[in-house]
Chains A and B, each alone.
Chain A
Amino acid sequence: MAGAIIENMSTKKLVIVGVVLLLFQAFAFMVGGLIAPSPTTAVHYLATKCVDNQKGHQEGRKWFMPWGPNQCDKIRDFDEAMAKRIEANNIVFSVHIPLPNKEMSPWFQFMLVILQFDIAFKMYNQIEDKAFVTIDVSLAYRDDSVSEWTEMAHSVEQRKLSCNFTTAKIKENEGRYYECDLLPFMEVGTVSHKYYLVNVRLPVYERKKVNVGIGEIKDIRLVGIHQNGGFTKVWFAMKTFLTPSILIIMIWYWRRITMMTRPPVLLEKVIFALGISMTFINIPVEWFSIGFDWTWMLLFGDIRQGIFYAMLLSFWIIFCGEHLMDQTERNRFSMYWKQVGPIVFGSFCLFIFDMCERGVQLTNPFYSIWASDVGTELAMAFIIVAGICACLYFLFLCFMVFQVFRNISGKRSCLPAMTKARRLHYEGLIFRFKFLMLVTLACAAMTVIFFIISQVNEGHWHWGDYTVQINSAFFTGIYGMWNLYVFALMFLYAPSHKRYGDEQASGDQGGTSGEDIQLTTTITHADGPTEVYRMMGKDSQE
């Protein structure tokens, strides 16, 4: 890949490109920070306790509405139920999503619901160790406020209670609540209906020890999380704008490569693959989620993101490898199996994990891998293996970067002894590597810094009359940044025109400006990195 545009570009032009990219970067941040609302919203729901008066269910399921017309018979607390002799199996916790006078929209993209129990402490009815709650849940939808509810899903699930009581367990403290961990409840990949209704029962079968020893449940609270419509719109707009930009530069890049006389080298192919995976993320297929009920969109998004990350990590390894400047000839993907292996394996683990969680949720939205002990262990195993792979990868990467720097300093010491052209060639090579190293580090640092800020901060800053949405700025900014990164990579690391033109002429051209010296003119033979290695070989002989 000798003779990339970046080497042959004058500093002035490089600065201009840099400034333009920075402007776009700032724009990406501003779009998220100033136009978009916060990325997600959490809505509190308190379940209404309905009484199922019908003995035995005739003709299908009956749905219980917490409010509005046809609302159910309610009880305020369980003392009332006790007095009226209502059985636990006849109490239905009902939650209507969303709250009154609002409706859901496909722009919300996904809906994620968290479950929380309010369990009061009672001296003689405490939560037992390793208590499981069995919930009988059903979900229904409808698209106007008068029609019948249509069942979407029904399931009997178990959730593990992990609660602790922070004050002393004495009689005086009866009635205080336990502090319980959040429990996953439901995940739906599209929000294609306007109204949803959740009915939860906590059936008791004393003989089977179902829902025995779970303490005195006072209330069920749900927290519904969905993406904000405004954020989705900004996000889609961004994707729709970025797709053609990356696509065009990709086509331009590949055309340049095919115009050369030699076949493309590995690094060029990898950069091209990176462009493809970026485009794959960019293509705004999410537009379809507005019109179609595609629940697999969430999973598909994960897969696309995973492919890009794997590609990016592989690219870094291969880029370092191709700049090692030792005698080994690489230029083959099989040379990197040791380094790329962990990436592939780690990604595969995460993919399996994701399929187990979000894949199963396609059929049963109440499923959670974390709900059962075996599932938790399995999930942890996948995540730990992926974590080990990540560590392994970073060790390899750091070692490779270290090697490159060692070789660079080795080369640098003998630079003055070389001919001018060769010296400039090496300087170009080193510059190319260091440039990418710097840009990559800057991008990674930006990502990490913004990630930390968005985690630590409350989500928005007030700045005079403006509210800056830090979280949205983080998402759009970082997304824009990696797009620009891939864009810049394809632009700057594309083979230079001067490579496949008349060599003599390009040499003359190069002479016109100080930085534009065409280095490869001194070498009369073929393109490709082999030449670099051959040169290095020569160099070491010298």
Chain B
Amino acid sequence: MPMKAEFSSRKDKTTCVRSLAVGHQYSSVASQPVLCSSIPGLVPKQLRFCRNFAEVMPSVVHGLSIAIRECQHQFRGRRWNCTTLNDTLSIFGPVLDKATREAAFVHAIASAGIAFAVTRGCADGSATICGCDMIRKAPSGEGWKWGGCSEDINFGNMVSREFADARENRPDARSAMNRHNNEAGRMSITEHMYLKCKCHGLSGSCEVKTCWFSQPDFHKIGDYMKDKYDSASEMVVEKHRESRGWVETLRPKFTFFKPPTETDLIYYENSPNFCEPNMETGSFGTRDRTCNLTSHGIDGCELLCCGRGHNTRTERRKEKCHCVFHWCCYVSCQECLRVYDVHTCK
């Protein structure tokens, strides 16, 4: 199927939901291994991967959950707000069946999330196979002692590529689109790595300097991907006949725009407007969504409710106030009663 494990076509989506559900289950106990056979719907390649790299699977799953959280954060005020369904098997609903911008975004951020979380997982020691031993061989064989290890991000990207791209190997347009968007997601991480250096030469001078790349805050990746979502390129499908049969490729729809680069998102089907619930397109509609009365943007009541108008009710909420915070675990607060006007779409 063209899409990645989690968000692939109707039948496969089961997979994703399940794997994410497993993820939530395991998230609090990182050391506990993920049972590969308990995740339904993995293609053989993914299953093999899962067995070989069992110890990075918690990170993969964690990566998917931070990706979803970020998606919901980025789209919080939009008609499509990255809603996930808890009670059905397909986590995002049918919206990802079509090759829309939304699908492009979800794929990109999910593959970025996997790369991000695996790289992070390498640093806390929960995965032992990161970095050196598998990628670079030093002359003496003792790679670590001779020349250290390569950057963990390469390993993270490798895992993401192996896992998320596992089923994107068909010659159709959807596969091509997903491959491109997955790669764009991973590129966004690599591009946002920032360099930090420490001088430790004579008397701490910069005669000797060591630099390393650090991963950015994942919110930064989210912001960037959101920009890429807004500027995603629309493509058209072209069919060629090759020796192995029909092959579908994508080319930019509008020749007067710049063609998409490796970091841009691509799609070739238009999104539904997400105003009314439509199970066919995966739209949940905006009924009962909270809107912002004062905003003129997409989160404003006018646009979000698609002109249907809104209801207003007054809510009294008990809130914590005058709090004293500690860095962890302890907040001493008073309780205050506040009154809010809540606007929801009709």
A residues near B (Cβ < 8 Å) are 37-48, 66-67, 71, 74-76, 78, 80-82, 85-88, 91, 96, 98-102, 105, 107, 112, 114, 116, 122, 124-125, 175-177, 182, 202, 204, 206, 211-212, 214-217, 221, 223, 225, 228-231, 302, 305-306, 309, 350, 353-354, 357, 451, 454-455, 459, 475
Contact = CB atoms under 8 A, between A and B. Distances in A.
B320 to A, nearest CB: 9
B296 to A, nearest CB: 17
B193 to A, nearest CB: 12
A302 B326 contact: no
A105 B145 contact: yes
B327 A124 contact: no
Given A41-B149, A78-B329, A91-B329, A46 B124 contact: yes
Interface stretch (B6-14, B25-33, B85-93, B183-191): B25-33
Contact of A76 (B27, B323, B327, B329): B27
A124 B331 CA distance: 11
Contact of A354 (B198, B203, B209): B203
Interface string B190-233: 00000010101011101111111010010100000000000000
Nearest to A39: B208
Interface stretch (B125-133, B248-256, B301-309, B336-344): B125-133
Contacts, number: 158
Contacts of A116: 214
Contacts of B330: 82, 87-88, 204
A459 B211 contact: yes
A42 B27 contact: no
A346 to B, nearest CB: 11
B74 to A, nearest CB: 11
Contact of A305 (B73, B133, B202, B331): B202
B140 interface: yes
B210 A225 contact: yes
Contacts of A66: 124-125
Interface string B15-59: 000000000000111110000000000000000000000000000
Given A87-B330, A124-B323, A225 B147 contact: no
Contact of B209 (A44, A67, A455): A455
B123 interface: yes
Contacts of A43: 148-149
A79 to B, nearest CB: 9
A228 B148 contact: yes
A96 B125 contact: yes
B218 to A, nearest CB: 9
A228 B123 CA distance: 19
Nearest to A458: B211
Given A100-B128, A206-B326, 4 more contacts: A66-B124, A223-B212, A230-B147, A302-B203
A250 to B, nearest CB: 24
B284 interface: no
Contact of A217 (B139, B219, B327): B327
Given A86-B329, A125-B325, A41 B196 contact: no
A105 B147 CA distance: 12
Given A46-B124, A182-B198, A38 B148 contact: yes
Given A124-B323, A230-B138, A202 B120 contact: no
Interface residues of B, number: 51
Contacts of A455: 206, 209
7 closest A-B pairs by beta carbon, nearest first, are A37-B147, A41-B148, A42-B212, A46-B124, A125-B325, A230-B146, A46-B123
B329 A112 contact: no
Given A102-B144, A230-B140, A302 B329 contact: no
B5 interface: no
A249 B122 CA distance: 52
Contacts of B128: 99-101
Interface in B79-131: 120, 122-126, 128, 130
B152 interface: yes
Given A88-B329, A204-B330, A230-B146, A357 B125 contact: no
Nearest to B147: A37
Contacts of B145: 105, 107, 229-230
A88 B332 CA distance: 14
Contacts of A475: 208
Nearest to A102: B144
A78 B145 CA distance: 36
Contact of B28 (A37, A45, A80, A88): A80
B92 to A, nearest CB: 22
Contacts of B29: 74
Contact of B126 (A67, A214, A230): A67
Contacts of A40: 148, 208, 210
5 contacts: A37-B146, A41-B148, A67-B124, A99-B123, A223-B198
A357 B198 contact: no
A82 B327 contact: no
Nearest to A42: B212
A354 B327 CA distance: 34
A46 B149 CA distance: 16
B123 A88 contact: no
Contact of A175 (B208, B211, B219): B219
A36 to B, nearest CB: 8
Contacts of B148: 37-38, 40-41, 43, 228
Contacts of A82: 328-331
Contacts of B125: 45-46, 48, 66-67, 96, 99-100
Contacts of A37: 138, 146-148
A350 B122 CA distance: 39
A19 B148 CA distance: 36
A175 B74 CA distance: 13
Nearest to B219: A176
B328 A88 contact: yes
Nearest to B73: A175
B219 A122 contact: no
Contacts of A74: 29-31
Nearest to A213: B325
A42 to B, nearest CB: 4
A85 B328 CA distance: 10
B195 to A, nearest CB: 9
Given A47-B124, A99-B128, A216 B327 contact: yes
Interface in B283-339: 323-331
Contacts of B329: 78, 81-82, 85-88, 91
Contacts of A223: 196, 198, 212
Contacts of A71: 31
A124 B328 contact: no
Contacts of A75: 28
B202 A76 contact: no
A38 B149 CA distance: 11
A24 to B, nearest CB: 23
Contact of B122 (A44, A217, A302): A44
Contacts of B139: 230
A493 B138 CA distance: 44
A76 B217 contact: no
Interface in B124-183: 124-126, 128, 130, 133, 138-140, 142, 144-149, 152
Given A48-B124, A76-B28, A176 B217 contact: yes
B100 to A, nearest CB: 25
Contact of B200 (A46, A100, A107, A112): A112
Interface in B254-274: none
A225 B211 CA distance: 9
Contacts of A91: 328-329
A182 B147 CA distance: 24
A206 B324 contact: yes
Nearest to B27: A76
B266 to A, nearest CB: 28
Contact of B327 (A102, A215, A228, A451): A215
